[in-house]
Amino acid sequence: MESENGTVVAEFILLGLTQSGDIQLLVFVLVLIFYLIILPGNFLIILTIRLDPGLTAPLYFFLGNLAFLDASYSFIVAPRMLVDFLSEKKVISYRGCITQLFFLHFLGGGEELLLVVMAFDRYMAICRPLHYSTVMNPRACYALILALWLGGFVHSIIQVALILRLPFCGPNQLDNFFCDVPQVIKLACTDTFVVELLMVFNSGLLTLLCFLGLLASYAVILCHVHGSSSEGKSKAMSTCITHIIIIFLMFGPAIFIYTRPFRAFPADKVVSLFHTVIFPLLNPVIYTLRNQEVKASVRRLFNQHIA
């Protein structure tokens, strides 16, 4: 397949997570079990927040969106990876690769911005409680959700636009189990130094700045909570600590992958596995396990259907 940008590669061969058949089988079983248990849990969280009239606060609205984003994100890589574990030849078309890459960064970028929005929500609720209901009204919440989806789209379309301009004329083996920017760029038949710098700026720098900004904002919130004597102090502290855990799970692997020159490291595939499959499914579950209102609501919903 040849196009105006010089692309002649019609498909990419994915080398996979590992070449060991035994390890592949073990990872396949573990990921499948994990996927079948945790994914329904995410949809249960979404359903619970939608159906329970007591969970109408912006905090739960954003949590529902987090569960939806994470569930959608896991669909980009995990199902194909499980199928490829059972295939002799792991192949993805050029267009399929670009599509996977687009949605990976579209949803990933949107989730990073959602965590920023959730930090702003907690700041207003804890540090500016008198203005909270005015600022975080339903219209503002929907506007913030629309803005983060738009931000994720712009972030991803820049990545795709830069890659579509690259010529792929020979090597087509991707040393990974899915299509991502670092591996795809390395297969281009041209000097990619400038493109790599632009990618690091678009993904890596923005991710790092968001991460540092979030840590700073939660440091301010925790200091405010620590200095207060309100009855909701322990609840606010627990919520903030949960958010910080999710931030580290989300941003840690992303910083490792995207904030450095695109050179291969032995840990890349393992970090990518946790970043694209494990952590996205765990994030809403971790939050729910530390939130008494959501846990109680899930129990009520479950008991109603059992009864």
236-265 confidence digits (pLDDT tens): 787 788 888 888 988 999 998 888 766 777
What band does 232 get if pLDDT is binned at 50, 70 and 90? low
Q: Are 185 and 163 in contact (CB under 8 A)?
A: yes
Q: Which residue has the tokens 């900004």?
A: 213
pTM of this structure? 0.88
End-to-end CA distance of the chain: 58
What band does 153 get if pLDDT is binned at 50, 70 and 90? very high
Q: Strand, coil or helix: what is 170?
A: coil
- Asked if the model's pLDDT at residue 307 lies above 70, the reply is no
Torsion of CA 77, 79, 80, 81, to 10 degrees: 70
Count of alpha carbons within 13 angstroms of residue 178, beta-carbon side? 29
Task: Indicate the helix (H) or strand (E) that contains 207.
Answer: helix 206-227
Per the structure block, which two tokens stand in for 67?
């569960």
Q: Are 175 and 183 in contact (CB under 8 A)?
A: yes
Q: Are 197 and 261 in contact (CB under 8 A)?
A: no
Per the structure block, which two tokens stand in for 32?
């499948």
What band does 145 get if pLDDT is binned at 50, 70 and 90? very high
Q: Are 235 and 247 in contact (CB under 8 A)?
A: no
Task: Indicate the helix (H) or strand (E) that contains 43.
Answer: helix 21-51
Spell out the long-range contacts of 269-273 with Cβ–Cβ below 8 A and sequence spacing 24 or more: 269/17, 269/18, 269/176, 269/177, 272/176, 272/177, 272/178, 272/180, 273/17, 273/27, 273/177
Cα–Cα distance measured from residue 197 to residue 164, given in angstroms and rounded to the nearest whole number: 16
CB contact set of 112 (below 8 Å; sequence gap of 6+): 206, 207, 210, 250, 251, 254
List the 91-93 sheet strands across, edge first: 91-93, 11-14, 173-174
Residue 147 pLDDT: 96
Residue 182 pLDDT: 86
Q: What is the mean pLDDT of residues 133-140?
A: 94
* Tens digits of residue pLDDT in 34-69: 888 778 878 888 888 888 888 889 989 998 998 899
Cα–Cα distance measured from residue 207 to residue 257, given in angstroms and rounded to the nearest whole number: 10
* Tens digits of residue pLDDT in 197-212: 888 888 888 899 899 9
Q: Are 84 and 177 in contact (CB under 8 A)?
A: yes
Q: What is the mean pLDDT of residues 301-306?
A: 68
Cα–Cα distance measured from residue 49 to residue 291, given in angstroms and rounded to the nearest whole number: 12
Per the structure block, which two tokens stand in for 93?
């078309």
Residue 1 pLDDT: 46
Mean pLDDT taken over the chain: 85
pLDDT over 90, % of the chain = 27
Other Cβ atoms less than 10 A from the Cβ of 122: the count is 21
Q: What is the mean pLDDT of residues 19-27?
A: 83
